[in-house]
Structure 1
Amino acid sequence: MDQDRMETCIVCGQPKEEGIHIVNEFICISCEMEMVQTKVEDEKYPFFVNRLRRIAVRYHV
């Protein structure tokens, strides 16, 4: 892996090479896939909402 291309995911906290950017924050591919497949009733849903809320709070979106 190319260390220069690594970014830390705001969801899992792990350094990854591939993912998406929302504002200036990075979400790795595996977390993105898990988030979009998580149903509202799932116990992990509030965790994902909390992580995404950090973007809104940090950047006043």
Structure 2
Amino acid sequence: MNNKQVTNHCGVCDKPKDDGIYLYQLFICSECEKDIVTTEPDDAAYSVYVKKLRAINQSTFTI
């Protein structure tokens, strides 16, 4: 059997990563997932994450 590791591009940081989750069609790496969950609404990064995650709802979003 071939145990080849698949590398995906994170839809948040846009870097190739091996470990993460899919939220609908958007791959989110483990590091970004952790950052998203722990970011407070008054943090500057919060609005960036909201914009990236909003892309999930748009019918033109593709990976």
Same fold (TM over 0.5): yes
AA aligned to 2:39 is T
Partner of 1:17: 18
Gaps of 5+ in 1: none
Letter aligned with residue 22 of structure 1: L
The 2-side partners of 1:3 and 1:31 are apart by 24
Gaps of 5+ in 2: none
Point out 4+ residue stretches in structure 1 off by more than 2 angstroms: none
Structure (1 or 2) with the larger CA radius of gyration: 2
Distance apart, 1:58 and its partner CA: 3.2
Q: 1: distance between equivalents of 2:13 and 2:59?
A: 18
RMSD between aligned alpha carbons? Answer: 1.8
Q: TM-score, normalised by structure 1?
A: 0.86
What residue is the counterpart of 2:6 in the other structure?
5
For the residues of structure 1 that align with 2:20 and 2:59, how far apart are their CA atoms?
20
